[in-house]
Each structure stands twice: as structure tokens, then as C-alpha cells.
Structure 1
Amino acid sequence: MTLRVLIVDDEELARLRLRSLVHECEEPGAQVVGEAANAVQALSWLAQERCDLVLLDVQMPGADGLRLASELRRHEQPPAVVFVTAHPEHAVSAFDLEAVDYLTKPVRRERLQAALHRAHDRLRARGAAADAEPVLVVNDRGRVTRVPVSEVLYLKAELKYVTLRTARHTYVLDESLSELEERLGERFLRVHRNALVARRAVRALERRAVPGDEEAGREGWAVRIEGTDEWLAVSRRQVAAVREALTAEGV
């Protein structure tokens, strides 16, 4: 794997030195595919191109490197980040942003080589994790079943248990909805205090009477679930977030 590297630094001489050092590093293979003098240029470049690693200065005009790194974490497949700076006092903030490494100027080739190795290892581990299909383990009537997360339509808290619904089956889990929400991450959307819905499974948001709503008998917001005739209540405080998420998803 040859690392595609973007250099972001407002000093042209600093970018030139980094380009030269990257060229001198033999393993893992790395190639500078782009340069930017500030965060705006970097984001513009990334909107059109792809890189595996960003060598990023901290102090730059406009948005600094820490803000840019924070923005990059929101990308679906964020590049690894190595900070390259003359200001070591920012190291703690950098690692809070899950930076691979923090190099101080003037950068030595040996240190850059080590940072490239770390970036290569992290990206390889991320790829292996992405290839593994995440599952929820369900104890169903004494039989242990592995349910792929990609098949889950929603999870709903009912009494002491959580109901897991797929297109074909309904299971009961012992875990709390909060624990499941933390594990499942952004693929699921909290629509109510008692329900998480897979983003891909939401097909409509409407005002209607929803059986089982805490305001039974009154009209409220609800989402329709893909592949079923079911509607789940949406709490008033979650309507704006649900609508925003649906717009972002293009539903």
C-alpha cells in the first residue's frame, strides 16, 4: 500500500522540505499527491481528491490545524493525520483528535519514517475492521444467534427488555437501549426515548395517531419503517433532529 499524502502548511519552504523527506522514506511507500497552504484550500482539495494521510501544521492563517483535523473526523472515510509543527504545547489537543503522531520542526527523516509506519498500520487495521460484518449476539429461547447489524430495522425498549426487529424476525435483548446506541453509532437514529431506528430503514416522517405513544389517542409525529407496515412514534424533542437526518440521508 502506497500512502497518498496531502501536505498542509502555510510556509512554502516547510512544504518543500516535507515533500523531500517523504520522497526519501522508502518503507512504507508514500507519495505526496497534493499541497495546501490553509484549511480552506485543504478542504477544497479533499472535495475532489483522496488521500490516506495529511501532514498538518497547527498554526496557520484562518482555521488552524486542530480545527481542520476536527472537521476531517466527520468525513465518512477520514484520512490519518500527523501534526507537523514548531509548537509542541499543542500535543495533548492533537492526540485528543486521534492524531497518528506529532512531529516537531525541524522534522527528522527517522521520525517521519516512524510516523508513516504508524499511519500505515492504523489504516490497515481500519480496513480490516471495516471488512468485518458487525453483529449483535442474541440469546433467543436458549439458542445463540448472530444478527448482522445491516439487517436490523429498529430497536425498541419495552418494559425490561429491548425488542430487535429485522424484516423477518423479532428478537429480545437484555442490553439497555443506551448501551446499544453507543455501540451502534451513527448508523442508527434516536427517534424517541424508547426507540432507535436504522437510518436506511426510515421511509417517511408524518403526523398521525401512533398506537403505544405516550400521548395515546393524540396525533403526533411518527416514522414509517422500511419493509413493514409499522410506524414508530417520534418524540417532540427529536422531530427536528429526525427531519435534519432524513434530509441529509436524502429520504
Structure 2
Amino acid sequence: MRAVIIDDEQKARNLLRILLEENCPQINEIEDADSLPKGVSLINQFKPDIVFLDIEMPGYSGIQLLDFFTREQITFEIIFTTAYSEHAIKAFELNAISYLLKPLRDEQVEGAVKKAITQIGKSRVSERLEELKNTFKASSVRKVGLPVSNGVIFVEFDDIVMLEADRMYTKVSTQSSGDILVSKPMKFFIDVLKEAAEFYRPHRSYLINLKHIKQYVNQDGGYIIMDNQKTVGISKDKKDEFFEVIQGS
């Protein structure tokens, strides 16, 4: 059997490849791509039996795979991978779509592949994907999953006070659980939270929840004090925009 892995993170692709090679002897050919368009091209060329698809990548959602194929062309099974979205998991389960929750584990991958193999040729994958797409549109769950060493912590948007860049990590400050260090760069959260109007980026190193601003101090160039007493600087070119956002929120 053939498999294609589509994920923007190289480490994630490499890990999944290793887990498949070690636990799924049914799959003897594996190719991978780091974006949805490249993945689509690879699917057309490689004709896989199973596609492992990251649900959220820069520029594209995995659901947009439907935009590149007709229903008749989707003859392969799809196993989605996700690391942050609880409502995505609910949607997968609701629509009988196989998924893998990052960080990946041997038994999880093995089980998903066995399930996918039993479904090949027996069900209309395109119909389930269409229903999944509609479920996402209707979803109002507002939580984000934070990958940590022993799994994923799901946090409501309103619980997040601020996010601070820490090289290739991000420190997420919450009301209920304090600070959580996540092995994802700030860019990941900027992409994930771009549709959430309450989050604003006053400085390249910070993303703040406007609902948790406590005070603006017009000293030392100007800075923000959040509800957790942490201070956040404002870039010079963001000051006018910041006040416009505050007044409109």
C-alpha cells in the first residue's frame, strides 16, 4: 500500500514516517509534502491508498483538499492530524473521520491505519469530507489546544491573557493555569488565532487578549499592563492602531 504525508512541519513528517515504517507493514511506500498544493500534486502522481493530512497549515486548511479534487477522484482514505483544535476532534468523530492527535504514538498510528484499511473502497470519503466541512463552518467552540510534553492542553480563548515569543517556543499566560510553555513558535498562534477579534499583536514578541488589558501607561515609551500584572511593550508604529483597536473593541 502507498501513503502520502502532508504536513508543513518536517519533524512531524519524519516522525510519522518512522511510526508507519515500524508499526504498519501494510504500507511499503511513503511520500511526503510540506504544503497542500504540493501534496495535491503528489497525490495525482503517486496515487496513494491513504493520505495523512495536517488539518491546519500556513495558507491552507486540510479541509480545502476538497477544492482540488472531484468527488470521484477521492478514492483514498484520509487520516487527519491535529495538535490544537478540540472542535476539530469533535467534528472528526461526528463525521466518522479518522484522525491522529499530536504528539503521535505508536498504537494510535497503528489503530488509525487498520481502521482506514477496512474503509478503503467501502465508503464515499468525499461525502464525509463535505459533511466535515459543513461541521467546521457551524462550529462555535472557541478553544485552542496547546501541545505539551505529555499531550495537549485545551484552553478557552477567554482564559488566555497573552502569548509571548520565546525563540522557537511560546509562553502562553492563562488565568486558570498560569504560564504554559508550548513548543510552537509565535507564528503558529498568529495563524491559528487570526480570526479571533479579541487577540491583537502590539509588538512582534507579543499577542494579547484585549479582554485582559488592565491599564495603559504613558511612560517609558508607553506600555500595557495585563490582568496578570505582566507588562507588554508597544511598537512605535503600532500605537495609533492600538488605540483605534481599543476604542473599537
TMscore range, shorter length? 0.3 to 0.5
Give the structure with higher Rg (CA): 1
Q: Which has the higher contact order (CA 8 A, sep 6+)?
A: 2
